[in-house]
């Protein structure tokens, strides 16, 4: 087994270009791990060692691993028809779009299936610009997003969220035109030093209106945001935020895009994250949990008001894997399992338990500055000084240290050195949550000893 593992790792290092990975460093540390099997929240590598996947892939394996029911429906569909001849469609795709119309809020009734979350958001941006042009407002092209948010890595949407301080975007300059960034409603890191979460929410919503006015409303096409943003540790906006944003968009004729690629399909303890805030967007983007990443699939869904602009003249937009019937069949089965096994409620319950357990760690770990989140989307922010909220210097390499400790404790979990984001599959049990809490506890204790933190 060891000989086989060494050989397959050498092949990976020689031929595969992994996500955000340095193959030189991986070679020095005996990586990458090569996974060969998964069941529930656990995966097994090529040496036979079993790990707990605390992040559910990329917060996307919502059902957990090993659901053979999905494999069976995919096989059944492959046996019937694997693709759609030009200018046609298939039964599973039609049924998926109908199911989404049933689930989505308001009059979001028409869906464009794609193959990935980044692509879904690119599609949304093209749609809003085309929408305004068809209504005689071709000057509307700018898109407002929140600092620290993440909407994908393709050439356009990678510039949404202004993640340049966290992710190296300099390789890909120049930036896409028309990207406007405003403060994020993260009370712990509020740019305005607001006294309360409500004050943070109101000021950050007002910042959107200020940006619309500064740039001239006639040039602004859309506002985009995740209901709860994962990259900065899942800060949950105070209840004033999203209704204000909806009102501001309506006031200036700006479309509202809600990115549910991560938060959708039970992740936050409701089917969709925006349900916590009681508003209806114009466009919703989805991916990941819609199919638990068993196959590639994402969807951009629009309201009737948006869709009616395209009925007589289709948008010029096509992707080879968009509308794949095999993926659609697998997604329908995924949604059926989420509903029949009450996974949304399990996400809420286990999320509350997990968040409490992680919050309790603040009593013994001064390195924890904040614990936040909702459902099974939780962030633990690490700080060098809890009183000042000072971050650790990159020279300290907190990321490298703690990620090494996570591995020692049997956890597949990675941190950027600032935030530990916890998002296990929705099938996680209380016992699994205890294991996650204990593993993070032990990992924090180890690096506090290394850094001399008391």
Q: Domain residues for 387?
A: 33-66+342-451
pLDDT at 226 over 80: yes
Could you tell me if 194 and 179 lie in one domain?
yes
Could you tell me if 59 and 93 lie in one domain?
no
In a domain, 6, yes or no: no
In a domain, 25, yes or no: no
Full-model pTM: 0.95
Query: pLDDT, tens digit, for every residue of 62-71?
Result: 999 999 999 9
In a domain, 271, yes or no: yes
Could you tell me if 302 and 386 lie in one domain?
no
In a domain, 27, yes or no: no
CA distances, 311 to each of 64, 110, 276 (Å): 39, 11, 32
Could you tell me if 162 and 303 lie in one domain?
yes
Residues of the chain above pLDDT 70, percent: 98
Could you tell me if 216 and 82 lie in one domain?
yes
Query: pLDDT, tens digit, for every residue of 408-450?
Result: 999 999 999 999 999 999 999 999 999 999 999 999 999 999 9
The CATH number of the domain holding residue 47 is: 3.90.1150.10
In a domain, 216, yes or no: yes
In a domain, 108, yes or no: yes
**Per-residue confidence (pLDDT) for residue 2, from 0 to 100:** 58
Could you tell me if 106 and 118 lie in one domain?
yes
Q: Name which residue leads in pLDDT, 349 or 172.
A: 349
Structure tokens at 290: 């819609």
**Per-residue confidence (pLDDT) for residue 164, from 0 to 100:** 45
88 burial via Cβ count (<10 Å: 0-12, 13-18, 19+) = exposed
Could you tell me if 49 and 150 lie in one domain?
no
Residues β-bridged to residue 145:
181
Domain boundary pick from 340, 374, 399: 340
Mean per-residue pLDDT over the chain, rounded: 94
Residues of the chain above pLDDT 90, percent: 84
Could you tell me if 347 and 320 lie in one domain?
no
In a domain, 21, yes or no: no
Confidence of residue 174 (pLDDT cuts 50, 70, 90): confident
In a domain, 19, yes or no: no
Structure tokens at 76: 């059944």
Query: pLDDT, tens digit, for every residue of 129-147?
Result: 999 999 999 999 999 999 9
Could you tell me if 62 and 132 lie in one domain?
no
Could you tell me if 108 and 254 lie in one domain?
yes
Could you tell me if 41 and 111 lie in one domain?
no
Q: Are 112 and 301 in contact (CB under 8 A)?
A: yes
Long-range residue pairs from 304-307, CB within 8 A, at least 24 positions apart, any chain: 304/107, 304/109, 304/110, 305/107, 306/127, 306/128, 306/131, 306/255, 306/282, 307/109, 307/110
Domain boundary pick from 273, 305, 340: 340
Query: pLDDT, tens digit, for every residue of 309-344?
Result: 998 888 888 888 888 999 999 999 999 999 999 999
Confidence of residue 17 (pLDDT cuts 50, 70, 90): confident
The CATH number of the domain holding residue 267 is: 3.40.640.10
Tell me how far apart the alpha carbons of residues 369 and 365 are, in angstroms, rounded to a whole number.
Answer: 9
- Overall number of domains in the chain: 2
**Per-residue confidence (pLDDT) for residue 318, from 0 to 100:** 83
Structure tokens at 36: 């060969």
**Per-residue confidence (pLDDT) for residue 351, from 0 to 100:** 98
Query: pLDDT, tens digit, for every residue of 232-291?
Result: 999 999 999 999 999 999 999 999 999 999 999 999 999 999 999 999 999 999 999 999
Half-sphere exposure of 110 (CA within 13 A, CB side): 13
Domain boundary pick from 340, 357, 387: 340
Could you tell me if 72 and 214 lie in one domain?
yes
Structure tokens at 330: 């697998």
């Amino acid at each position: 087994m060891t000989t086989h593992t060494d050989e397959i790792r050498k092949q990976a290092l020689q031929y595969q270009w992994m996500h955000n990975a340095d193959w030189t460093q991986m070679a020095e540390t005996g990586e990458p791990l090569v996974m060969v099997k998964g069941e529930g929240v656990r995966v097994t590598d090529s040496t036979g060692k079993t790990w707990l996947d605390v992040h559910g892939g990329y917060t996307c394996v919502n059902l957990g691993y090993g659901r053979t029911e999905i494999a069976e429906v995919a096989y059944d569909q492959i046996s019937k028809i694997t693709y759609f001849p030009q200018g046609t469609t298939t039964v599973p795709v039609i049924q998926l779009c109908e199911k989404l119309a049933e689930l989505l809020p308001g009059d979001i009734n028409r869906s464009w299936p794609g193959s990935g979350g980044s692509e879904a958001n690119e599609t949304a941006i093209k749609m809003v610009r085309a929408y305004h042009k068809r209504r005689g407002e071709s000057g509307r092209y700018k898109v407002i997003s929140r600092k620290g948010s993440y909407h994908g890595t393709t050439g356009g949407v990678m510039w949404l969220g202004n993640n340049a301080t966290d992710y190296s975007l300099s390789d890909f300059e120049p930036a896409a035109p028309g990207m406007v960034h405003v403060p994020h409603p993260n009370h712990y890191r509020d740019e305005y030093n607001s006294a309360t979460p409500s004050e943070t929410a109101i000021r950050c919503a007002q910042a959107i209106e200020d940006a619309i006015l500064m740039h001239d409303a006639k040039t602004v096409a859309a506002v985009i945001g995740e209901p709860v943003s994962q990259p900065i540790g899942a800060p949950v906006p105070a209840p004033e935020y999203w209704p204000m944003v909806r009102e501001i968009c309506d006031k200036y004729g700006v479309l509202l895009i809600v990115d549910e690629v991560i938060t959708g399909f039970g992740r936050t303890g409701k089917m969709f994250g925006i349900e916590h805030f009681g508003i209806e967007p114009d466009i919703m983007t989805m991916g990941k949990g819609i199919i638990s990443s068993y196959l590639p699939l994402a969807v951009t869904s629009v309201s009737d008001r948006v869709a009616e602009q395209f009925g007589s003249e289709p948008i010029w937009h096509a992707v080879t894997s968009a509308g794949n019937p095999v993926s659609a069949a697998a997604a329908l089965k995924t949604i059926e399992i989420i509903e029949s096994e009450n996974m949304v409620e399990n996400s809420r319950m286990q999320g509350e338990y997990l968040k409490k357990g992680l919050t309790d760690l603040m009593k013994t770990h001064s390195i924890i500055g904040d614990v936040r989140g909702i459902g099974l989307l939780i962030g633990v922010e690490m700080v060098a000084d809890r009183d000042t909220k000072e971050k650790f210097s990159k020279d300290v390499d907190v990321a490298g240290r703690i990620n090494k400790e996570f591995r020692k404790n049997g956890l597949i979990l990675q941190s950027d050195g600032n935030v530990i984001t916890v998002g296990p599959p929705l099938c996680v049990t209380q016992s699994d949550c205890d294991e996650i809490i204990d593993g993070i506890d032990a990992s924090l204790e180890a690096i506090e000893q290394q850094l001399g933190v008391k």
